[in-house]
C-alpha cells in the first residue's frame, strides 16, 4: 500500500496555558463566582489599591515588606499573576538586602500592564 505524503504548512500549537494577558479572567470569574458586577468592583478596587501602594513603595518606607505582601495577595486574588510574581521578586530582594530598584521597576511595569487591562475590561462591561 503506497503512502500518500502531502506537505502540510506549519501551524503554531496553542499555548499549554491560556494567556489572558495581565489579568486571568477565568480565575477572576471563579473568585467572584461569576458575578460580573463583583468582578468590576474588585478590579476597580485593585487598580486603585495598586496605584496607591506603588506610590508608597517608591520611597521604600519602613513597612515596605508588608505593603508588598499585601499587593501580592491582592494580585493573586484577582488573577494578576505577573503583578504577584513581580511583588514576590521585590519581597525576595528586600529580604536578601539586595538592591530593590530592578524588582521595583518590574513591579511598576506589571502594575501598569494590569491597570491598562483593567481599564479596558471596565470600559467593555
In tens, the pLDDT along 82-91 reads 999 999 999 9
pLDDT of residue 59: 92
Judge contact between 40 and 125, C-beta under 8 A: yes
Give the pLDDT band (50/70/90) at residue 13.
low
Give the pLDDT band (50/70/90) at residue 123.
very high
Dihedral sign computed on CA atoms, order 121, 42, 103, 17 = negative
pLDDT of residue 53: 96
108 CB neighbour count, 10 Å cutoff: 14
Angle at the Cα of 39 (from 36 to 44), degrees rounded to 5? 130
Across 32-92, where does the E strand assignment appear?
none
Exposed / middle / buried, residue 85 (Cβ in 10 Å: 0-12, 13-18, 19+): middle
Query: What proportions of the chain, in percent to the nearest 5, are helix, strand and coil?
Result: 65, 0, 35
pTM over 0.75: yes
Task: Using the predicted structure, report yes or no on whether residue 4 has a pLDDT greater than 80.
Answer: no
Amino acid at each position: 500500500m503506497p503512502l500518500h505524503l502531502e506537505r502540510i504548512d506549519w501551524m503554531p500549537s496553542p499555548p499549554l496555558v491560556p494567556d489572558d494577558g495581565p489579568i486571568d479572567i477565568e480565575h477572576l470569574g471563579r473568585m467572584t463566582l461569576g458575578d460580573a458586577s463583583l468582578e468590576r468592583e474588585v478590579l476597580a478596587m485593585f487598580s486603585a489599591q495598586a496605584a496607591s501602594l506603588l506610590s508608597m513603595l517608591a520611597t521604600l518606607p519602613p513597612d515596605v515588606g508588608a505593603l508588598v505582601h499585601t499587593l501580592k495577595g491582592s494580585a493573586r486574588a484577582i488573577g494578576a499573576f505577573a503583578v504577584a510574581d513581580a511583588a514576590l521578586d521585590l519581597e525576595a530582594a528586600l529580604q536578601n538586602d539586595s538592591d530593590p530598584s530592578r524588582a521595583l521597576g518590574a513591579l511598576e511595569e506589571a502594575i501598569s500592564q494590569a491597570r491598562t487591562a483593567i481599564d479596558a475590561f471596565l470600559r467593555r462591561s
